[in-house]
């Protein structure tokens, strides 16, 4: 879950929520499922679990990072091209699935915050990102290892590092939303999202930045 907030120096706090989870592909869908007592746990489908002791997992289902946004966003101002989708079909292969998931949740949080309507009054240099990632592109690592074994080094994709590097999520979100301030990725195992939120709040409290998008993806 991601969070955007203005600095308390302005005596204003604005929050926005975004989520992509086994219970839903948005914060609203996730919350509705939780309130209704619906479980996101089911049989593993993203790989063949034959021989695995565990046959159940919480998988994100029916997720499409290229789907049009409910409303176009204008992070670079009304005079520039709007943001109509998180990633284009051409860009999908450049990034790992953790970036797909985290970027979608981040853009939702930004839209939910209402900050887009006030970008003309905000400095991009005073807006930052801190999105934690525990490991990153493990499925992409496994797939590229198979590619290497079958075809050798020349078959390794030039996008491989972009697909797996944990900090690529924060970097891509900053590019999507034109957040040019502090850009960080916290890696602290199961605590990374909490640490990202805490560090983002601390950056605002110090006066280093006015707005942060914070949270995590895996």
pLDDT tens digits for 51-76? 999 999 999 999 999 999 999 999 99
The dihedral formed by the CA atoms of 133, 135, 136 and 141, expressed in degrees to the nearest 10: 180
What pLDDT score does 8 carry? 45
The alpha helices in 165-216, defined as continuous H runs, are 168-177, 192-206
Q: Say if residue 46's pLDDT is above 70.
A: yes
Q: Write out pLDDT tens, residues 149-196.
A: 899 989 998 888 888 999 999 999 999 999 999 999 999 999 999 999
What pLDDT score does 11 carry? 44
- What mean pLDDT, rounded, does the chain reach? 91
Helix, strand or coil, per DSSP, at residue 42: strand
Nearest-5° Cα angle at 63, 132 to 138 = 45
Q: In this structure, what token pair is assigned to residue 174?
A: 């900053």
What pLDDT score does 141 carry? 87
pTM: 0.89
E-strand stretches of 45-203 = 56-58, 68-73, 83-85, 127-132, 183-184
User: pLDDT-based confidence at 7, cuts 50/70/90?
Assistant: very low
Q: Write out pLDDT tens, residues 142-155.
A: 888 998 989 998 99
What pLDDT score does 183 carry? 96
Q: Write out pLDDT tens, residues 80-139.
A: 999 999 999 999 989 999 999 999 999 999 999 999 999 999 999 999 999 999 888 888
Q: In this structure, what token pair is assigned to residue 113?
A: 């915050």
């Amino acid at each position: 879950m991601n969070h955007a907030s203005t600095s308390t120096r302005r005596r204003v706090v604005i929050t926005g929520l975004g989520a992509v989870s086994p219970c839903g592909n948005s914060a609203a869908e996730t919350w509705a499922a939780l309130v209704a007592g619906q479980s996101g746990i089911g049989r593993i489908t993203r790989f063949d679990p034959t021989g695995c002791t565990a046959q159940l997992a919480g998988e994100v289902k029916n997720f499409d990072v290229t789907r049009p946004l409910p409303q176009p966003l204008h992070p670079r101002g009304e005079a520039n091209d709007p943001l109509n989708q998180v990633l284009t079909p051409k860009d999908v292969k450049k990034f790992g699935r953790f970036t797909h998931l985290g970027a979608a949740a981040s853009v939702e949080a930004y839209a939910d915050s209402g900050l887009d309507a006030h970008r003309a009054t905000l400095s991009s240099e005073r807006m930052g990102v801190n999105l934690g990632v525990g490991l990153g592109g493990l499925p992409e690592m496994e797939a590229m290892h198979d590619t290497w074994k079958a075809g050798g080094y020349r078959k390794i994709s030039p996008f491989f590092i972009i697909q797996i590097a944990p900090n690529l999520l924060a970097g891509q979100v900053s590019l999507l939303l034109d957040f040019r301030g502090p850009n960080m990725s916290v890696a602290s195992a199961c605590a990374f999202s909490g640490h990202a939120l805490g560090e983002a709040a601390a950056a605002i409290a110090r006066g280093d930045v006015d707005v942060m998008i914070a949270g995590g993806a895996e």
